[in-house]
Amino acid sequence: MLTAVPVPAVLRVTPAIATGAMVLAPLAVLPLGAAVGAILWAGTETTLPPLAVAVLAIAALALGSRALHLDGLSDVADGLTASYDRERSLAVMKSGAAGPAGVVAVVLVLGAQAAALASYVDDVRSAVVAGALVCAARAALWITCASPVRPARPDGLGATFTRRVPGWWTLLGWAGLAAAATIVHPWRGPLAVGLAFLVVVVLVVRAARRFGGVTGDVFGAAIELALTTMLVGLAGAV
């Protein structure tokens, strides 16, 4: 669900497995974070423009996750703009087709990520920070799957993984990320993490009002928005 890296199949997702999967989500994408960091670091040793290196890193990230989260971002954007009717919005999101709003959302988010990542093509430290942010962005699932958040449908990823992450873990986990971010920059680090937290909370609240809860698409949108916010927030500060 989080990467294209092959792992043994889980035939039955119990509540304990669902909780563990969401809590450990940032660790699950370590291979993708390492790939992004390696590409950015390699870019510093070439004459390629930083923006071109950043695009390559984003392409590797999309390939490593099968663009699943970008698909979620597209579907959520289409669902929010399709109709004020809950059932109509959910049907649009489930259709799988990308509408105008979805395409624009993906283009804008990928453009922001590429522009921000270009500033991380500088040295080893910058590359490591970028890879770490890829992992940290998956902490968005600690919010979308927090115990107070309800699913929009009785089936699907939303029903399986929502309400599995304890609220105390969500708050402490994000506080820990903010504290760790001070290593990158004393005030911009925590600020970037805090803004990412607020962006995901706003998305979840909006989804709850429009869709009646969250879906797997909201999970993906939350991850992409969290990553974009942190990359932009720390661009040039590493």
Mean pLDDT of 13-41: 95
pLDDT band at 7 (very low <50, low <70, confident <90, very high): confident
Q: Do 199 and 80 form a contact (C-beta atoms < 8 A)?
A: no
- Predicted TM-score (pTM) of this structure: 0.95
Q: How many helices (H) and strands (E) does the chain have?
A: 13, 0
pLDDT over threshold 80, residue 206: yes
How far apart, in whole angstroms, are the C-alpha atoms of residue 123 and residue 53? 13
How far apart, in whole angstroms, are the C-alpha atoms of residue 182 and residue 77? 33
pLDDT band at 139 (very low <50, low <70, confident <90, very high): very high
Mean pLDDT of 209-237: 96
How far apart, in whole angstroms, are the C-alpha atoms of residue 237 and residue 234? 5
Report the share of the chain in percent with pLDDT over 90.
Answer: 80
pLDDT at 131: 97
What are the pLDDT digits (tens) for 87-125? 998 998 988 788 899 999 999 999 999 999 999 999 999
Mean pLDDT of the chain, nearest integer: 94
Local structure of 214: helix, strand or coil: strand
Rounded (5°) CA angle 53-28-122: 25
pLDDT over threshold 80, residue 1: no
Mean pLDDT of 44-70: 95
pLDDT over threshold 90, residue 188: yes
How far apart, in whole angstroms, are the C-alpha atoms of residue 188 and residue 89? 37
pLDDT at 153: 87
Mean pLDDT of 63-67: 95
pLDDT at 9: 79
Mean pLDDT of 126-140: 98
Q: Do 32 and 138 form a contact (C-beta atoms < 8 A)?
A: no
pLDDT over threshold 80, residue 30: yes
pLDDT at 145: 96
Residue position matching structure tokens 């661009």? 235
pLDDT over threshold 90, residue 144: yes
